[in-house]
Amino acid sequence: MGTWGTLCASRWDLSDAHVLCRHLGCGFAETVPKGGHFGRGTGPVWSDSFHCDGSEAHLDQCPVAVLGASLCSHENDAAVICSGLARPMSLRLVGGGSRCDGRLEIFWHGTWGRVLDDHWDLEEARVVCRQLHCGEVEAAYIPPRAQRGMGPVWLHGVQCAGHEASLSLCSTSLPKATGIMEDVGAVCRGEQHCTSHRHSSGQAGSL
């Protein structure tokens, strides 16, 4: 018979918390407060250490180090604050000839930010085109250096099967310090079905 307990906060980080928020359907991990932030828990304090990279669908997919008896007390219980579903993000394509082609940006924390990737392809771009009601995907591309975004990086490592209704249903990761990933873009074929104006007008689709 299973037992509810808490997790020791000593090895709990933002990537682990991001996976938990996704698993619970609560958006993204915004912060990982210090241990005991929400008060003392009850039951055992588990010392197992998760090693998530942030892209997993749930914690069961993360490597786990079983450390045996915990030296933590309930004053150091792990905690997380998720973004929740009350503040959905939106996405847009900027810098192209219409709102249906360009560099991908998402809106989070009141600011448009960048999406970086190193394996961006047609499956991910297809989901973007579908979400923006821009018809079928024509191309997925990496914008040239001169067209890179200047805002904050909100997501990286997006992995879609291609059939998802929105980008939020794909596997995504929070940004990490890396010089490998680059901005991503998409060209959709259905531009004739889109409102004709420049991307800077802020036309967007909710995740």
49 is a domain residue = yes
From 82, 117, 138, give the residue that closes a domain. 82
pLDDT higher than threshold 90 for residue 103: yes
Q: What is the pLDDT of residues 159-184, one digit of tens each?
A: 888 888 888 777 766 555 445 678 99
**CA pair distance 171, 161, nearest whole angstrom:** 9
205 is a domain residue = no
The parent domain of residue 35 ranges over 6-82
Q: What is the pLDDT of residues 134-146, one digit of tens each?
A: 999 999 999 887 7
194 is a domain residue = yes
From 23, 48, 82, give the residue that closes a domain. 82
Q: What is the pLDDT of residues 32-51, one digit of tens each?
A: 887 767 877 778 888 778 88
CATH label of the domain that carries residue 110 = 3.10.250.10
DSSP-derived secondary structure letter, 21? H
The answer on 95 and 78 residing in a single domain is no
**CA pair distance 98, 109, nearest whole angstrom:** 25
